[in-house]
Amino acid sequence: MKAKKVMAMCLVSTMLAGMVGETAISVSADDKLKVALVLPGKKDDVSFNQSIYEGVENFVANRKDIDLQVVENVYEVSDITPTLTEFADSGYDVVIGHGYQFTDPMIEVGAKYPDVNFLGGCTVKQSENVGSYDVHLEAGGYLMGVVAALATETNKIGVIGGGQGSEITRGHEGFKAGAKSVNPTIEIQEVFTGDWNDTSGAYEAAISMYDSGVDCIWHSGDGIGLGVVQAAAKKDKYVLGNVEDQTSLAPKQVLSGIQYRWDKPIEQMFKDIQDGSFRKKTGADKVYWITVSNSGLEMVPLNDTKGTISDEDKQVIDDTLKKLQNNEITLPGDTSSSTVDSAEVTESSAS
């Protein structure tokens, strides 16, 4: 890749002069910051891919000094490495890979292209030029667990995910804890399909749960989420969405959900890249979070078409949301405040 571009990213020359020794990116009038967004799925999936696509698009729409290229459906690791390499070799300044599976390829390619900045969605490794952005899904899951436990009439709820690890596992553990905080005796069924794009597998798992008496399921996003929503519509049972507001997919069955807002971390990541501080950060400081407390995670308005949630229940939900916003609830893996119940749950797995 060519040497660092001299770009004037709304920085005056006197400011640049004070940044000697920092790896700052600034811009010239006849050049733009070249940014690539690599998605594992479709940008309009009403789920994981759409959330980051809209976040980056909104950011770029207000900037005339950024040239954005988006590529979709790069899911397998065997395709990720050459795609990242191609963008890095083509002179891109920032390459974003949206998904846990981008973790090792980004570290590998990042080592070969030290002048390129890499950002990984929910990835778990960082280096000098590789950072991550992530979601505090244990908080969102906890809130959804509370909603599910209040909505169920059978005392049976479920949670379905794709691959285990990273934010997905944290979200599931949060869901269980939230549900148990309402009802310690509630039965929770859990399934991991093993593949975030396994829509049919998630659909069958959800159908099986509903047939066993489960009447409310939360899912952890991406293609599997669409399968769960389809099953809810088929069985006329409640489902809780994730990542995007999915009410339009099943207007009578989507009870609520969690919606991701990536705007703040995107803005901060680019600011840090442009002023040189990104390269100086290490470890946990190189992970940019969305949380309930910073409004990166928002609750989709209740859509209680079956009338199972009372006014008292709504107050419990509101109180839980406020406590999460104020970091007053200790979540699985967190020891900062009050303790949550972690009673036994019923778990299963799907092949």
Mean pLDDT in residue range 142-169? 94
Same domain, 147 and 64: no
Same domain, 87 and 218: no
* Model confidence at 23: pLDDT above 50: no
Classify residue 54: in a domain, yes or no. yes
Q: How many CB atoms within 10 Å of residue 318?
A: 11
* Model confidence at 196: pLDDT above 90: no
E-strand stretches of the chain: 33-38, 66-71, 94-98, 117-121, 130-135, 156-161, 187-192, 216-219, 238-243, 254-260, 287-290, 297-300
pLDDT at 221: 78
Same domain, 252 and 222: yes
Pairwise CA distance, residues 103 & 337, whole Å = 31
Same domain, 254 and 311: yes
Q: Return the higher-pLDDT residue of 110 and 342.
A: 110
Same domain, 247 and 213: yes
Classify residue 344: in a domain, yes or no. no
Classify residue 343: in a domain, yes or no. no
9 pLDDT band, cuts 50/70/90, is very low
User: Tell me: the pLDDT tens digits for 314-346?
Assistant: 999 999 999 999 999 999 965 333 323 323 333
User: Tell me: the pLDDT tens digits for 12-21?
Assistant: 232 223 332 3
* Model confidence at 348: pLDDT above 80: no
* Model confidence at 287: pLDDT above 90: yes
Classify residue 346: in a domain, yes or no. no
Same domain, 22 and 93: yes
pLDDT at 340: 30
User: Tell me: the pLDDT tens digits for 231-252?
Assistant: 999 999 999 999 999 999 999 9
Same domain, 205 and 249: yes
Classify residue 341: in a domain, yes or no. no
Classify residue 350: in a domain, yes or no. no
Same domain, 113 and 234: no
Number of compact structural domains in the chain: 2
pLDDT at 333: 67
Same domain, 226 and 254: yes
Range of the domain at 188: 137-259+298-325
pTM: 0.83
Same domain, 154 and 248: yes
Classify residue 192: in a domain, yes or no. yes
Same domain, 145 and 202: yes
3-state secondary structure of 338: strand
Classify residue 339: in a domain, yes or no. no
Q: What CATH code is carried by the domain that includes residue 250?
A: 3.40.50.2300
Same domain, 64 and 76: yes
Phi, psi of 37 (to 5 degrees): -115, 115
Q: How many CB atoms within 10 Å of residue 20?
A: 7
pLDDT at 62: 83
